[in-house]
């Protein structure tokens, strides 16, 4: 039973446009949500996070939105740049206990 | 130098062999983790350690063992490797006092160790 789902294995976006990556979860006890970015031959690196008491968190070009009623979060990247091409993982935890990870979405930014 | 270093980066071995993957960190974090990544799946936790005397099983610990030799070193062993342990393995560290802006516990990962069991 996948508690964290990223239903799009890949996403292709034109450079300069908005990239929207989606993540759904089933466990209502999750109270922290994180996005990690992974380049080939490297480990995941932390990008941005949000707690369940917020519905939006912004850091430069990256914004994460949380819709608790729908158990859905999304990562917006505006504007998309070639260096944003990577695999993006959504992860969630309850009380900062074990992180549960989605399968990842490969983002391709086209020039 | 990387904050979290994994060795070896790539390893091919045969069924039944004993394999050790090593992880060392210079971040001074007490918490260390071993994860496994398979195609089409997210990262899954194998073992974690909150300090040198604390070892805990994760979601998929069967067939694996770990050793926390020091605060900076955490090794993962496969006593008798089997083909379905072919995967990408990641070591990670965290400091519960240094959270992300939201209060989330943020992990720092090594570059990964790709293991192939024939």
Sign of the alpha-carbon dihedral angle for B7, B49, B86, A10: negative
Q: Please give the Cα distance from B31 to B107 (Å, whole number).
A: 9
Note whether B115 and B38 are within 8 A (CB).
no
Q: Sorting pLDDT into bands at 50, 70 and 90, what band is A4?
A: very high
Cβ separation of B100 and A34 shorter than 8 Å?
Answer: yes
Residue A40: CB atoms within 10 A of its CB come to: 7
Q: Which two tokens stand for residue A91?
A: 């992860």
Residue A25 Cα distances to A1, A51, A69, A93, B28, angstroms? 11, 14, 11, 11, 33
Residue B100: its pLDDT value, please?
64
Residue B101: its pLDDT value, please?
67
Put simply, whether B92 touches A (Cβ < 8 Å) is: yes
Residue B97: its pLDDT value, please?
75
Distance of CA B60 to the CA centre of its chain: 12
Cβ separation of A49 and B100 shorter than 8 Å?
Answer: yes
Residue B105: its pLDDT value, please?
85
Task: Say which of B45, B92, B110 has its CB closest to residue A98.
Answer: B45
Cβ separation of A43 and B109 shorter than 8 Å?
Answer: yes
- Residues of chain B falling short of pLDDT 70: 1, 98-101
pLDDT tens column, A67-108: 999 999 999 999 999 999 999 999 999 987 789 999 999 999
Residue with tokens 């505006």: A78
Put simply, whether B108 touches A (Cβ < 8 Å) is: yes
Task: Say which of A9, A41, A96 has its CB closest to residue B104.
Answer: A96
pLDDT tens column, A23-74: 999 999 999 999 999 999 999 999 999 999 999 999 999 999 999 999 999 9
Q: Coil, helix or strand for B100? A: coil
Which one of B100, B101, B114 would you mutate to disrupt binding with A, by most A Cβ within 10 Å of its Cβ?
A: B100
Task: Say which of B43, B59, B103 has its CB closest to residue A32.
Answer: B103
């Amino acid at each position: 039973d996948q508690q964290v789902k990223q239903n799009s294995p890949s996403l292709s976006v034109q450079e300069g446009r908005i990239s929207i990556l989606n993540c759904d979860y089933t466990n209502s006890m999750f109270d922290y949500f994180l996005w990690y970015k992974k380049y080939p031959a490297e480990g995941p690196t932390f990008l941005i996070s949000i707690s369940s008491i917020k519905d939006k968190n912004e850091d430069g070009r990256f914004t994460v939105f949380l819709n608790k009623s729908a158990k859905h979060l999304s990562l917006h990247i505006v504007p998309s740049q070639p260096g944003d091409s990577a695999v993006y993982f959504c992860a969630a935890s309850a009380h900062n206990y074990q992180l549960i990870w989605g399968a990842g979405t490969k983002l391709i930014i086209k020039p | 130098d990387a904050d979290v270093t994994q060795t070896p980066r790539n390893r091919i071995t045969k069924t039944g062999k004993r394999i050790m993957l090593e992880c060392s960190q210079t971040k001074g974090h007490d918490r260390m983790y071993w994860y496994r990544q398979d195609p089409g799946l997210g990262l899954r936790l194998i073992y974690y350690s909150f300090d040198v005397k604390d070892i805990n099983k994760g979601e998929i610990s069967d067939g694996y063992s770990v050793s926390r030799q020091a605060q900076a070193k955490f090794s993962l062993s496969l006593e008798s490797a089997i083909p379905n342990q072919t995967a990408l393995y990641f070591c990670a560290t965290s400091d519960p006092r240094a959270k992300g802006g939201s209060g989330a516990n943020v992990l720092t990962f090594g570059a990964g160790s790709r293991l192939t069991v024939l």
